[in-house]
Structure 1
């Protein structure tokens, strides 16, 4: 039985802050995070722990995702308690080894790793600035797609219109390496992920939303197939052990 809902608020705009993390930009980046920290989802207990840790890194993007080890004693180095070589990749030394008599035998200068508080203080403003710029850019994208004034005074409206025009006329395309086309597609994809308008005027918005929906459905189908296969294999193992 269908029930009609009439008291839905008109304003459904999401006011939550946009969270950015390089580990959630691509599937391979997320896989690297899980493999590097041994996050697994094969049992409920491991899935709960892995999900909580993933959310922790999402809400704390400045926290190092991987634990570094001392190149001398090979023990884990706590955040802000070590020294790093800016020349050699992956060369870190803990405070205990650095302060030992005779120091560390290394040809390059070592710099002290900043603490989490220092990193947060330095990057908080940068993150807020990026979020603000992203919101303004998406608002500009919507405005430029609706604006019909040839001499609009809205900041950068003319530039975005020229970017639209370039995208329609370019022969190289993003697949061929055109930087302007890549920039345009990046903005269009960001908009399509958050857009809820049924009659959106932003170019290719509906096509991109349909494409993202198909990708999500395909991913969900693969996930269900993998779960069914795992359950089938377990059933075969249980049947074999009971014989």
Structure 2
């Protein structure tokens, strides 16, 4: 009905125009317009894209730390293009190093594949120049060469594909277990997830008390709620988690707006003070 009214409005608006402005404009051809009734419209709103998970986009502070640590800026068009490109790279390559590695001896940045890393200490890296100098590397543990760009990309691609596949299986299993009523279901790990459902109802320790099973269950439910588009989803607590995430997003947006308004107010006060 809405589409039918919309077409009638456009048809009436077209006939109210002057002759030179009607369709087709600036042409001698005459095309007749007539209303068409649309009985139904098929709209597929299901998101077919794969789910991309990245810790840098879970919170605003995590994204801010990523930008600050890599000097991603948006104050000019050129910097905004580069920063957006790098942000997309980190989103599609979640296992890739997110920050520039610095040599612990000369304190210079280490290019990809041009350094050595300790197998035990997580933050000890040495560039090739310092590694080749005898006596400069005084470290008790073994150092291994950084992987090259090709090797690292291959590792990242394989790890990402495995992670996406595992995530899809977990979410499919969660949806299946929430709807399955068979006591002897042969779906892989269906009974285990049903057991987690029962545990979540009966557990007295909960996540706040440090229950590992509850933490695992809440992790799965949160992953599902982020990607779920169904209004009548049967997965437990899906609707509540969606509402909770919506409120958190609104609160974050309100704080951001308040911060922007305060910054604008301070700037206006500074301009008024300098002009006075």
- TM-score, with length taken from structure 1: 0.87
What are the superposed Cα offsets for residues 72-94 of structure 1, whole Å, 9 maximum, x if unpaired?
33321101101122344533222
Pairs within 5 Å for 1:50-69:
50-69=83-102
Give the deviation of 1:33 after TM superposition.
Answer: 1.9
Query: What residue is the counterpart of 2:251 in the other structure?
Result: 218
Larger Rg over CA atoms:
2
RMSD: 2.4
Q: 1:62 to 1:171 in 2, by over 3 A?
A: closer
Query: What residue is the counterpart of 1:7 in the other structure?
Result: 41
Residues 62 and 120, structure 1, Cα contact 8 Å, conserved in 2: no
Give unmatched runs, 5+ long, in structure 1: none
Give the counterpart of 2:233 among 192, 200, 217. 200
1:90 is aligned to 2:123 = yes
Pairs within 5 Å for 1:103-118:
104-108=136-140, 109-118=142-151
Q: 1:181 to 1:65 in 2, by over 3 A?
A: same
Q: In structure 1, what is the Cα distance between the partners aligned to 2:63 and 2:240? A: 26
Query: What residue is the counterpart of 1:187 in the other structure?
Result: 220
What are the superposed Cα offsets for residues 186-243 of structure 1, whole Å, 9 maximum, x if unpaired?
1111111111111111111111111111111111111111111111111111222222
- TM-score, with length taken from structure 2: 0.77
Q: In structure 1, what is the Cα distance between the partners aligned to 2:120 and 2:241? A: 43
Give the deviation of 1:40 after TM superposition.
Answer: 4.7
Q: In structure 1, what is the Cα distance between the partners aligned to 2:169 and 2:149? A: 29
Q: 1:130 to 1:80 in 2, by over 3 A?
A: same
What are the superposed Cα offsets for residues 30-78 of structure 1, whole Å, 9 maximum, x if unpaired?
343233223455x455655544432222123343222222233332110
Q: 1:103 to 1:117 in 2, by over 3 A?
A: farther
1:21 is aligned to 2:54 = yes
Alignment partner of 1:17: what SS?
Answer: coil
Give unmatched runs, 5+ long, in structure 2: 7-37
Q: 1:222 to 1:7 in 2, by over 3 A?
A: same
Residues 63 and 116, structure 1, Cα contact 8 Å, conserved in 2: no
Q: In structure 1, what is the Cα distance between the partners aligned to 2:89 and 2:115? A: 23
Residues 62 and 119, structure 1, Cα contact 8 Å, conserved in 2: no
Pairs within 5 Å for 1:39-188:
39-40=72-73, 43=75, 45=77, 49-100=82-133, 102=134, 104-108=136-140, 109-188=142-221
Structure 1 stretch 147-156 or stretch 170-179: which is displaced more? Answer: 147-156
